[in-house]
């Protein structure tokens, strides 16, 4: 199960002096001087291709890397920022998404959270599309979740 706002805030509060380490899906690391510029509740209401009305909600933290390379955000400071967002986030244990720009702005779901007294590591996953009405579309479960998979393309560039 993916980490939620509740487990994230618990880890931040338990280790207030820990440094934050955000790992992208390709194992690159977000520079340690990042800022968290927004914490929000994002709700998407939509109709899938089978005509079913759906809704999804998550907590999104926007990261910004600026030129102030001496800046460091501790777990305790981030816990205070997230706590200030409580009126917007509500009491739900929302899935976590980190929005980050590195040539493209991408909202990465959080795959894993590991906390020690020294460091909190947040591992991000690639966002993936999925057909939610596979039966109506005549797709197998595998086809409905096909996505990119980041396999190398014929040109060798990879699709991700």
Indicate the helix (H) or strand (E) that contains 116. Answer: none
CA-based nearest residue to 72, from 9, 120, 24: 120
CA-CA distance, 153 to 123, in Å (whole number)? 25
- Give residue-wise pLDDT tens across range 64-78: 999 999 999 999 999
CA-based nearest residue to 140, from 130, 154, 151: 130
Domain assignments of the chain as residue spans, ordered by start: 5-144
pLDDT at 83: 94
Prediction pTM value = 0.85
pLDDT at 138: 73
């Amino acid at each position: 199960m993916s980490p939620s706002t509740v487990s994230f805030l618990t880890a931040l509060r338990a280790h207030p002096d820990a440094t934050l380490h955000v790992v992208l899906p390709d194992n690159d690391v977000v520079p340690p001087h990042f800022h968290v510029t927004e914490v929000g509740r994002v709700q998407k209401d939509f109709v899938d291709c089978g005509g079913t009305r759906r809704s999804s909600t998550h907590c999104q933290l926007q990261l910004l890397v600026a030129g102030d390379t001496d800046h460091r955000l501790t777990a305790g400071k981030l816990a205070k920022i997230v706590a200030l967002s409580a009126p917007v986030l509500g009491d739900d244990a929302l899935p976590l998404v980190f929005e980050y720009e590195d040539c493209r702005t991408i909202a990465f779901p959080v795959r894993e959270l590991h906390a020690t007294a020294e460091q909190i590591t947040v591992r991000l996953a690639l966002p993936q599309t999925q057909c939610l009405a596979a039966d109506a579309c005549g797709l197998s479960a595998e086809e409905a979740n096909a996505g990119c998979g980041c396999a190398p393309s014929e040109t060798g560039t990879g699709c991700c």
